Amino acid sequence: MTIDATAVAEGLLATVPFARTIGTRFTEITVDADGVRAVATLPDDPAVHNHVGGPHAGAMFTLAETASGAIVLAAFGDQLHRATPLAVRAEIAYRKLAMGDVSATATLSRPPADVVSELDAGQRPEFEVNIVIADAAGVTTGEMTIIWTLRPNR
């Protein structure tokens, strides 16, 4: 499956104003034989800092959730005519103090074809997107898992 990564990134940022507000940018969105992956970055900006001078927990959550949304659009954008992607639940762990620029690397937990097969069978599939949040040196500062669903359109 080939995707237009630029279109996915621009489309997501156009429809999710809050992601733009905090300064989210995409550096990678890929769908290939190795899986589905998206990398989003958040520049070091005092407007999104917390009381210790790093990115606010809410900004890091938003960054990670936005990276996961890019995964969903890249993997299932061709299903939007019949299903609406929705985040069902999320869990985040802040592992280390983040300072400076941070990135969120999201990966899909299973092949998109498996999820689409469930949708084809009349089910409402759920699937995990796993995200690693890291500082500019590549040190993991947080981890997040989001469960998404494809809700069939009525």
Domain-by-domain residue ranges, the chain?
5-152
For 147, the token pair is 């469960």
Residue 132: which residues within 8 A CB-CB, separation 6 or more? 104, 105, 140, 142, 143
Bridge partners, 28 (sequence order): 39
Read off the pTM: 0.94
Give kind and range of the element (H or E) at residue 40: strand 35-42
Q: Encode pLDDT of 112-145 as tens digits.
A: 999 999 999 999 999 999 999 999 999 999 999 9
Residue 14 has pLDDT above 70, yes or no: yes
Taking a C-beta distance cutoff of 8 angstroms, is the pair 104, 39 a contact?
yes
Shortest CA distance to 134 belongs to which of 94, 92, 91, 102?
102
Domain spanning 5-152, CATH architecture: Roll (3.10)
